[in-house]
Amino acid sequence: MSMRKICVVITARPSYSRIKTALKAIKEHPKLQLQLVVAGSALLGRYGNAVDYIESDGFKIDAKVFMVLEGENKTSMAKTTGLGVMELANTFYNLKPDAVVTIADRFETLATSIAASYQNIPLIHIQGGEVTGNIDEKVRHANTKLADIHLVASEDAKERVLKLGEDKDYVFNTGCPSIDIAFKVNQTPKLNFNPIEKYGGVGSNINWQNGYIVVMQHPVTTEYTKAKESVLSTLRAVHKLGIPTFWFWPNVDAGADGTSNGIRSYREIHKPRNIHFFKNMLPEDFLRLLINSQCLVGNSSVGIRECAYLGVPVVNIGTRQHGRARGVNVIDVSYEEEAIEKAIVDRVKQKRPIISDAIYGKGNSGEKIADILAEVELRFHKTISY
Amino acid sequence: MSMRKICVVITARPSYSRIKTALKAIKEHPKLQLQLVVAGSALLGRYGNAVDYIESDGFKIDAKVFMVLEGENKTSMAKTTGLGVMELANTFYNLKPDAVVTIADRFETLATSIAASYQNIPLIHIQGGEVTGNIDEKVRHANTKLADIHLVASEDAKERVLKLGEDKDYVFNTGCPSIDIAFKVNQTPKLNFNPIEKYGGVGSNINWQNGYIVVMQHPVTTEYTKAKESVLSTLRAVHKLGIPTFWFWPNVDAGADGTSNGIRSYREIHKPRNIHFFKNMLPEDFLRLLINSQCLVGNSSVGIRECAYLGVPVVNIGTRQHGRARGVNVIDVSYEEEAIEKAIVDRVKQKRPIISDAIYGKGNSGEKIADILAEVELRFHKTISY
Amino acid sequence: MSMRKICVVITARPSYSRIKTALKAIKEHPKLQLQLVVAGSALLGRYGNAVDYIESDGFKIDAKVFMVLEGENKTSMAKTTGLGVMELANTFYNLKPDAVVTIADRFETLATSIAASYQNIPLIHIQGGEVTGNIDEKVRHANTKLADIHLVASEDAKERVLKLGEDKDYVFNTGCPSIDIAFKVNQTPKLNFNPIEKYGGVGSNINWQNGYIVVMQHPVTTEYTKAKESVLSTLRAVHKLGIPTFWFWPNVDAGADGTSNGIRSYREIHKPRNIHFFKNMLPEDFLRLLINSQCLVGNSSVGIRECAYLGVPVVNIGTRQHGRARGVNVIDVSYEEEAIEKAIVDRVKQKRPIISDAIYGKGNSGEKIADILAEVELRFHKTISY
Amino acid sequence: MSMRKICVVITARPSYSRIKTALKAIKEHPKLQLQLVVAGSALLGRYGNAVDYIESDGFKIDAKVFMVLEGENKTSMAKTTGLGVMELANTFYNLKPDAVVTIADRFETLATSIAASYQNIPLIHIQGGEVTGNIDEKVRHANTKLADIHLVASEDAKERVLKLGEDKDYVFNTGCPSIDIAFKVNQTPKLNFNPIEKYGGVGSNINWQNGYIVVMQHPVTTEYTKAKESVLSTLRAVHKLGIPTFWFWPNVDAGADGTSNGIRSYREIHKPRNIHFFKNMLPEDFLRLLINSQCLVGNSSVGIRECAYLGVPVVNIGTRQHGRARGVNVIDVSYEEEAIEKAIVDRVKQKRPIISDAIYGKGNSGEKIADILAEVELRFHKTISY
């Protein structure tokens, strides 16, 4: 029997981190052949050069697809997606995969879904059924409706995908592969590197050895013009508290430049002495940094997902993770400076360890995904199940 | 109060016929301003020049969007859609509508949905919730998940959209505007024109005055290579029966050329004396032709929808209308020549009139749609309702 | 030494015919590796399926590029070219050729030139320096200015390319490869097949055995709306004369549908009994058909080029071949019906054989081209030579 | 008589500065109506937000065209151009200009030329006939061959355009509009603002009041990978000399990020105390800054053009201005650190004022351009003039 060609499309750095153990498991599975497409912001230096990490992790890239349109607005998100459909249609036409994998809910993932489903290539959606409440959620559920097979990350999500009219024989709860990495890192949790020495970054050379917090705050798409304002609240709160802080730049989105410019201008003017800025970090190093931190601040899904498993306290700001199942480790706050400040103080004082919560899996998701991809019937013809 | 700008995107001739009375009602509504975008195959001569009918019906076109890529395969469907996203994103950026309307389930309607929703323009989907069982259905439900407001054509469809997790305050059963035209035509049902004199067409000058049937058979997207074979079965059956027949060419799709070439080559070789071919017809004339016919043969949704209301017997071939609620007027058959032949004989003998079935509305859908568009809250932020 | 990878882009049926012997010579050259890209209308059934001939001639196609936008107007020519740049940029990025070959002057050839030159891939232009007097000529000379190496078809053309500021060390008169085929066919000039039996076609089953003429008339881009009118003049003249005629459909261009529709409607209405229509023919068969014809009518470059070499009388209509060196075999006429009629009568009476004229080469162009490609310095950095 | 609609496409900040007085003259001309299209990097914050200056100068923008593809490589230059053709074809289709103006030689200007010429819109090329020796020169001359009317900046350039086969009745030496601004600024040459107070910028707060130099160094496209290395040579030389320096970031190009990253990393590591960095400046302020400087260093065309007129000493580095007529104010050097250092020392010592050189006009180019556009025959059909 010839191997099934599974084409996975990575369009952004965080998607890669989330899917990495599944990629490895697919690559090593005797019945599967991995076709890896790296596209969109995952190819671009100013969004963290995910492509370099992918290659240095030993993956062979079958196609690189440049599709990001500059524009600093929502129109460019739409046009990037349109261009992505055109480019990925070509890519799949040439690679002739047996199935295509699209991941989660970023706007450009719909390009993968259209390019595959319109060409009658069985489409597998990873991490459907979650709730976030803005364009991301629309995209996620649209991906579900175009997809033939669903690999979801929690029971909660599975139930939602079934309600969306999908056939239960094609919906599988595999957990989230990001937990696989957290699981492995958690075996040897000690911080085994000096972050500033290893990653450089800019800003103050903070004294982090006696405790620090981590901030990662992304722009929220539907509040485009407020992106700058929102990040400034967090900056002022963190600056005022004076706790040594590692701050990570956001990834691309409409509004990324609002957030990035907010951070950049605050830095230039106020030169906050307790904050050091990084562009990005190897996922394993990032998780170890979190395990050893006093808390994570911002709106990253890492706070909801990996930190639940790892028992790291989280201050979750705003609506970005709205509606997702969360563990006891999380406090939700609005964009108000005082609320953020108060919540950070609360979380830093939180008695450790917090109990680990396995809602997003137990560390074997990558293998589960590969096994299902090897065995599931690859259909491309479906109808609603009610 | 300034008028709401409602931007409707027409991408194909049949979509226009279906939505026409709603366009008129929007145009005439005191609180609404119609922005009309004509795109895709609706602009092209070889798909029936819908644009000419639109203009001769008195509509002003605000933008024409050329986006159809030649290719005669499924890849070009995907690329047409990608290009459509890019072009329509520009169009909406310039027209600045208060809401955008996307219609039904053709592959390129997803371009309208992405271009609007990604730019946070409230998206209204007309005719969600129906079941067809191939890529069209995937597209239809993906449109539903991107849309903020839903105007469906039947109770059946409404229930399905609610199950898909949409908020009941934003789902309205308006019936199908195509029934409005059928309603009006049915007031004066007599055939008041000579089809061949008025529309020319090609093929034999058939003697239709003593009874005739009508054929309209579209290619089915997921059965691309079989398009030719399928249409040949119907051609042979119709040819053999010898009943005077008006045959309408299919509209564009991957495979259109399979179907078209099938028809063309059969014509050249067999010169069937009982068949006359038309490219297209004014909707009112077409409906009057149906009312006075012995039956409709093929896989057009007109058979399911208008013919149910008008009580015209229908032989529905193959899977294209699979899963849609149908009236007693319809017999379903496979692609087999004998089965088609037998079903036509049966339907032609059917005692008339067949009872009219109002599942798709009663003739006032256009106005209902305009009224809702004038009053509904235009939101663009939603979340799943379970 | 590794072989030079020469990437040739074929975008239309006539370009293939013209370049075929060069492709063969490149493929067989010990120092060259042919990379063949088939794009644009060369992939499409309604423009003659050049791709099928290419494959049946034994060439392996490295990439197929769908880029033709439907639109039936000049805007779609521009957009097709824009899309071509995007697609071909990808193609060259992946194929990594040592040089790219762009051919002649069709509008979309500029896409090849931009995609190559902007990526610093040495660009070779075949058939620069000729004069035609409309957008084609603009395109041809723009190709020259983007190209690094020039393989021209006549001394006349060479002189013009040099005047355009190109360095004489990179301009070579190779003659036209189309003459290679004419040369070979002319060794065994007898008509060795029955055209209607072999190619089918539509229209009257004419009695060609005792003499016939051949018509091939393309639309002239800058006279878009006149395309239909122009072809009707020729149709009326040819119809009136009653000489058995083989008529070839035109290839794609803005206006193609004007010409095609003109022919189609004339056929339906007048059913001219002396005309048989073909879509296309193997180049060798077409040349043999010409050799045995009484004359060629229309505006094809075959009349100027191959027919000069073969000594076939030509009635050249209108401005399309304006400014090109021509032999004694040609009479030029306007689009007037009477003028065309008169010229055909004159040419048919022309005493044969007409003297052969070798201005476009002597039958070894393909090999010359391959030899130059194997030896010339492949540069991509040039400056104007005055 | 209705006014001629002249559509000018601005794709980058430097193009705007260069053409500004012509835009004003067109806008104010009684026989002309200006249609202004702002496209490409002129719309983007990280390339200096030219769009803001354009609007604050009182120009109304008729269309904004987002077309820049991210990619940080030469492939994205090609794809940006392809997308530009598609977008601009739409724009011209909707604006229906009587003529389109394309400017100079940036890679994306060819998109303007194709979109106009393929739609038979008369194309006017400004600043043809100049020599630079890389892809820019290829693009410039290709623009010339697509254009119908030529407005060149010097006698030298005029002669070259004529040699390229253009008809002398359609080639006009108008001088360069950038000299108009220089002319006006030179009336009141005193530095009437504090650069750091007015423009912010980053880096050391240098003591410029007693003399300073200005640096502006762009990446050279065909030496993509060397962009970083080249700028580092200049940085080291300038840093070592210790003269107070205003350094301007480069505009976009493949390699822009090499240059930008080179500057950014040097700044972070060496924190050069004598250098202050600006993103951009109002053209008038920039010229006044140059007039009062000791010399300009880098490879900007301002050194060749405006500085010749203003008599400002220039150290011109590398090949970017290769082959352009230059005044006595310029010293040319290679990319070597020592050579640059030595040349700066020489130029700073240069006795002032240097004689002004009017090769690029005398200050009335904008008006000359408008007058010609109002009177010239707008043709779109041309042929080579030899």
DSSP string spanning B85-128?
A: HHHHHHHHHHH--SEEEEETT-TTHHHHHHHHHTTT--EEEES-
Residues B369, B315, single domain; the answer is: no
Residues A169, A189, single domain; the answer is: no
Contacts of C87 in chain D (CB under 8 A): 82
Over residues D337-357, the mean pLDDT reads 91
Neighbours of chain B (3+ CB pairs under 8 A): A, C, D
* Residue B381, domain member (yes or no): no
Give D176 to chain A, closest Cα distance, Å.
31
Query: What is the overall mean pLDDT for chain D?
Result: 92
- At residue D257, the pLDDT reads 66
Say how far apart CA D84 and CA D82 lie, in whole Å: 5
Neighbours of chain A (3+ CB pairs under 8 A): B, C, D
* Residue B380, domain member (yes or no): no
Residues C316, C267, single domain; the answer is: yes
In the predicted structure, residue C254 carries a pLDDT above the cut 50: no
Contacts of A257 in chain D (CB under 8 A): 45-46
Query: What is the overall mean pLDDT for chain B?
Result: 92
Say how far apart CA A181 and CA A20 lie, in whole Å: 8
Residues A138, A239, single domain; the answer is: no
* Residue B354, domain member (yes or no): no
Q: At what angle do helices B109-117 and B74-95 cross, to 10 degrees?
A: 40
* Residue D355, domain member (yes or no): no
Listed residue (D51, B112, D280, B67) closest to A73, CA to CA = D51
Candidates C66, C69, C86, C90, partner chain A, best to mutate (most A CBs within 10 A) = C90
Residues B192, B307, single domain; the answer is: yes
Which one is predicted more confidently, D224 or C294? C294
* pLDDT digit string, tens, across residues B160-200: 999 999 999 999 999 999 999 999 999 999 999 999 999 99
Residues A171, A203, single domain; the answer is: no
In the predicted structure, residue C221 carries a pLDDT above the cut 60: no
In the predicted structure, residue B345 carries a pLDDT above the cut 80: yes
Contacts of D202 in chain A (CB under 8 A): 268
Q: Which residue has the tokens 């061959």?
A: D145
Give the CATH number of the domain where residue D317 resides: 3.40.50.2000
Q: By CA distance, what is C93's nearest residue in A?
A: A64
Domains: count for chain C:
2
Q: For a pLDDT cut of 70, what percent of chain D falls above it?
A: 96
Question: Do D202 and A79 lie within an 8 Å CB cutoff?
Answer: no
Which one is predicted more confidently, D311 or D357? D311
Residues D135, D222, single domain; the answer is: no
- At residue A254, the pLDDT reads 45
Q: For a pLDDT cut of 90, what percent of chain D falls above it?
A: 74
Candidates D67, D384, D385, D386, partner chain C, best to mutate (most C CBs within 10 A) = D384
In the predicted structure, residue A82 carries a pLDDT above the cut 60: yes
Question: Do A75 and B119 lie within an 8 Å CB cutoff?
Answer: yes
* Residue B300, domain member (yes or no): yes
Distances in Å between the Cα of C65 and the Cα atoms of A221, C11, C113 are 35, 9, 15
Which one is predicted more confidently, A356 or B241? B241
Question: Do B90 and D94 lie within an 8 Å CB cutoff?
Answer: no
> Out of D81, D118, D134, whose CB is closest to C78?
D118
Contacts of B72 in chain C (CB under 8 A): 44-45
Residues B202, B265, single domain; the answer is: yes
Residues B156, B211, single domain; the answer is: no
Give C168 to chain D, closest Cα distance, Å.
15
Candidates B70, B228, B251, partner chain C, best to mutate (most C CBs within 10 A) = B70
Do C253 and C221 form a contact (C-beta atoms < 8 A)?
yes
Residues D288, D198, single domain; the answer is: yes
Tokens for D182? 């220089």
Weakest mean pLDDT among A315-319, B99-103, D99-103: A315-319
Q: By CA distance, what is D67's nearest residue in B?
A: B86
What is the edge-to-edge ordering of all strands in the sheet holding A99-103?
Answer: A63-65, A32-39, A4-10, A99-103, A123-126, A149-152, A171-173
In the predicted structure, residue D225 carries a pLDDT above the cut 70: no
Question: Do B160 and A386 lie within an 8 Å CB cutoff?
Answer: yes
- At residue B56, the pLDDT reads 94
Weakest mean pLDDT among A250-259, A341-350, B108-117, D148-157: A250-259
Weakest mean pLDDT among A35-49, A124-138, D242-256, D334-348: D242-256
Neighbours of chain C (3+ CB pairs under 8 A): A, B, D
Say how far apart CA B247 and CA D328 lie, in whole Å: 81
Taking the CB of residue B216, how many other CB atoms lie within 10 A of it?
22
Residues B154, B19, single domain; the answer is: yes
Weakest mean pLDDT among A34-43, A205-214, A287-296, B67-76: B67-76
Contacts of D87 in chain B (CB under 8 A): 90
Over residues D297-323, the mean pLDDT reads 91
- At residue A249, the pLDDT reads 87
Question: What burial letters (b/e) apply to A152-185, b meaning 16+ CB within 10 Å?
Answer: bbbebbbebbbbbbbeeebbbbbbbbbbbbbbeb
Question: What burial letters (b/e) apply to A243-256, b meaning 16+ CB within 10 Å?
Answer: bbbbbbbbbbbbbb
Listed residue (D179, D173, D171) closest to D155, CA to CA = D173
* Residue C380, domain member (yes or no): no
What confidence category does residue B283 fall into, taking pLDDT thresholds of 50, 70 and 90? confident
Candidates C85, C160, C226, C322, partner chain D, best to mutate (most D CBs within 10 A) = C85
Query: What is the overall mean pLDDT for chain C?
Result: 92
* Residue A138, domain member (yes or no): yes
What confidence category does residue D255 fall into, taking pLDDT thresholds of 50, 70 and 90? very low
In the predicted structure, residue A316 carries a pLDDT above the cut 80: yes
| Residue A4 φ then ψ, to 5° | -75, 130
Question: Do D86 and B90 lie within an 8 Å CB cutoff?
Answer: no
Ramachandran quadrant class, D49 (left: phi over 0; alpha: psi -120 to 50; beta: rest): left
Contacts of C63 in chain A (CB under 8 A): 94
- At residue A225, the pLDDT reads 66
Residues D343, D371, single domain; the answer is: no
Say how far apart CA B150 and CA B163 lie, in whole Å: 13
* Residue B356, domain member (yes or no): no
What confidence category does residue B255 fall into, taking pLDDT thresholds of 50, 70 and 90? very low
Say how far apart CA B60 and CA B57 lie, in whole Å: 9
Do B179 and B362 form a contact (C-beta atoms < 8 A)?
yes
Question: Do C83 and D78 lie within an 8 Å CB cutoff?
Answer: no
> Out of D85, D131, D384, whose CB is closest to C137?
D384
Over residues D183-198, the mean pLDDT reads 95
Over residues A367-386, the mean pLDDT reads 94
Residues of A at the D interface, defined by Cβ within 8 angstroms: 41, 43-46, 66-73, 75-76, 79, 83, 202, 257, 261, 268
Say how far apart CA C318 and CA C320 lie, in whole Å: 6
Weakest mean pLDDT among A138-142, C14-18, D163-167: C14-18
- Count chain A–chain D contacts defined by CB atoms under 8 A: 48
The C-alpha angle with vertex A50 and arms to A45 and A55, in degrees rounded to 5, equals 115
Give D69 to chain A, closest Cα distance, Å.
4
Question: Do A82 and B160 lie within an 8 Å CB cutoff?
Answer: no
Tokens for C379? 């540069």
Contacts of A82 in chain B (CB under 8 A): 82-87, 89, 111, 114-115
The number of residues making up chain B comes to 386
- Top mean-pLDDT range of C9-23, C306-320, D7-21, D97-111: D97-111
- At residue D254, the pLDDT reads 44
Structural domain including D255 reads 185-349
* pLDDT digit string, tens, across residues A140-179: 999 999 999 999 999 999 999 999 999 999 999 999 999 9
